[in-house]
Each structure stands twice: as structure tokens, then as C-alpha cells.
């Protein structure tokens, strides 16, 4: 009888230990999966609270003014100067702290090709207009949770949904800078190719990613017009 009780105790301990390991593993997995999104959301909230701005413009140091230590603490931070990841082909979105290179001429019908390109940054859809040209410059990128599958740019478009009408999107191409301003935002079906096939008589930019992050159910699409 005593031996049976001991055996039951060991089984109970083993089951409890296994359960705790599984729960801990699930917690660790969830934290790692959502870490990139949580980090970006936290930074975005912090920037808003502080009134932080990002700019690709040259920032000049202001003339020093005498002030009390308390005034210095309350003063809004000066704009940051962002160094683009690439001036050959890159994108900077100040509002959401996005700064990434762009891979040119990526075939949207070739899954292996575009997944490989998205490991290196944002992709420009093949046959769409180049920045500054009349037409639709179509850029797409990940908004994904599992960074271990998609590389360092897996969450590059995670905060794309934060963009609103009038926000600036800066694209560099062959050393030239193009400033686009958001005109609209929409969510379409994952199989809807209409945003890719749109034509414009003037230079437009389309940004596309998964919605919700990590799932291909829908697509979040942001359009922006070049300000000349």
C-alpha cells in the first residue's frame, strides 16, 4: 500500500512538473512572439507622450538659452535626425520610427523570391512605378510576430496602421529624396489585387502589409501622393 502511494506521489509530481514546464513554455513563446509588437507599441506611445518627432531634415542646434533645471526637464525634446538605411533605395516614416532599405523589382507571384527579399527589408513590386514617376509605386513588407522565421525585418510594417491622412512617408531612390503624404488607408481581402493594379496619372505610393499582423486574411493598404 505504501509503495502504491509513493508511486502515485511520483506520478503526481511528474504530471505537475510537466504541466508547469508546458505553461512556462507557452508564456515564453507568447512573449517572444509578441515582443517586437509590444516593443514598437511601447516606443510609439513613449514618443507621443514626449512629443517626440522624427525628421530626415538637417537639424541645427538652437542657440543656448539660460534656463532653470526644472524648465530643462519640461522642455520638449528636439527633433531627431534620421540617417536612412539606404539612399539608393530606402524608406523612412518618421511617425512610426520606420527606417528600412527597399529591395527593387520583386515578383509578387514568386513566393520564395519575395520571402527572400523581405528578409532584407521592404519590397518594391516588379513592374510598378519607380519613386517620382507617374503611376503606382507599390511597396510591401511583413507585419509578423514570428521574427525567427522572417528575419530582422519581420515587423517592419507592424505600426503601419498608425498612419493617418497627411502623415509623411519619405522614399529615397538613387540618391534622390521623394516626400509622399498619406491620402488614405483601407483594409482589403487577402486575395484582392485591386490596390496593386491601380493606376495614377501622377506619382503615388502604396504601402501594403498583412492585417492582423502575421495573418494573410486581410491586407492593410496605405496610399500616399508625392508632394512636388
Is the N-terminal amide bond of 212 cis, ω within 30° of 0?
yes
Sorted by sequence, the CB contacts under 8 Å of residue 74 that are 6+ apart come out as none
The Cα–Cα gap between 203 and 180 comes to 9
The Cα–Cα gap between 48 and 164 comes to 14
pLDDT, tens digit, 9 for 90 and up, residues 72-112: 545 556 566 788 999 999 999 989 989 999 999 999 999 88
User: 197 or 25: which carries more pLDDT confidence?
Assistant: 197
pLDDT, tens digit, 9 for 90 and up, residues 199-228: 999 999 999 998 887 677 899 999 999 987
Query: Whose CA is closest to 190, among 223, 214, 166?
Result: 214
Average pLDDT over the chain, rounded to an integer: 78
Under the banding of pLDDT at 50, 70 and 90, the label for residue 155 is confident
SS3 state at 55: strand
Amino acid at each position: 500500500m505504501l509503495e502504491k502511494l509513493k508511486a502515485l506521489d511520483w506520478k503526481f509530481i511528474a504530471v505537475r512538473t510537466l504541466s508547469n514546464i508546458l505553461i512556462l513554455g507557452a508564456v515564453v513563446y507568447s512573449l517572444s512572439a509578441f515582443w517586437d509588437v509590444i516593443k514598437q507599441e511601447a516606443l510609439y506611445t513613449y514618443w507621443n507622450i514626449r512629443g517626440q518627432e522624427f525628421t530626415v531634415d538637417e537639424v541645427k542646434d538652437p542657440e543656448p538659452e539660460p534656463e532653470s533645471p526644472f524648465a530643462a526637464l519640461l522642455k520638449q525634446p528636439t527633433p531627431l535626425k534620421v540617417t536612412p538605411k539606404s539612399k539608393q533605395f530606402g524608406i523612412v516614416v518618421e511617425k512610426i520610427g520606420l527606417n528600412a532599405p527597399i529591395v527593387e523589382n520583386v515578383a509578387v507571384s514568386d513566393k520564395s523570391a519575395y520571402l527572400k527579399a523581405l528578409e532584407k527589408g521592404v519590397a518594391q513590386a516588379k513592374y510598378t512605378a519607380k519613386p517620382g514617376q507617374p503611376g503606382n509605386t507599390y511597396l510591401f513588407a511583413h507585419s509578423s510576430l514570428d521574427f525567427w522565421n522572417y528575419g530582422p525585418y519581420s515587423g517592419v510594417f507592424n505600426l503601419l496602421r498608425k498612419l493617418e491622412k497627411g502623415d509623411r512617408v519619405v522614399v529615397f531612390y538613387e540618391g534622390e529624396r521623394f516626400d509622399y503624404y498619406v491620402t488614405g488607408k483601407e483594409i482589403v481581402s487577402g486575395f484582392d489585387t485591386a490596390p496593386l493594379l491601380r493606376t495614377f496619372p501622377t506619382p503615388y505610393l502604396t504601402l501594403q502589409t498583412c492585417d492582423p499582423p502575421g495573418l494573410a486574411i486581410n491586407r492593410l493598404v496605405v496610399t500616399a501622393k508625392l508632394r512636388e
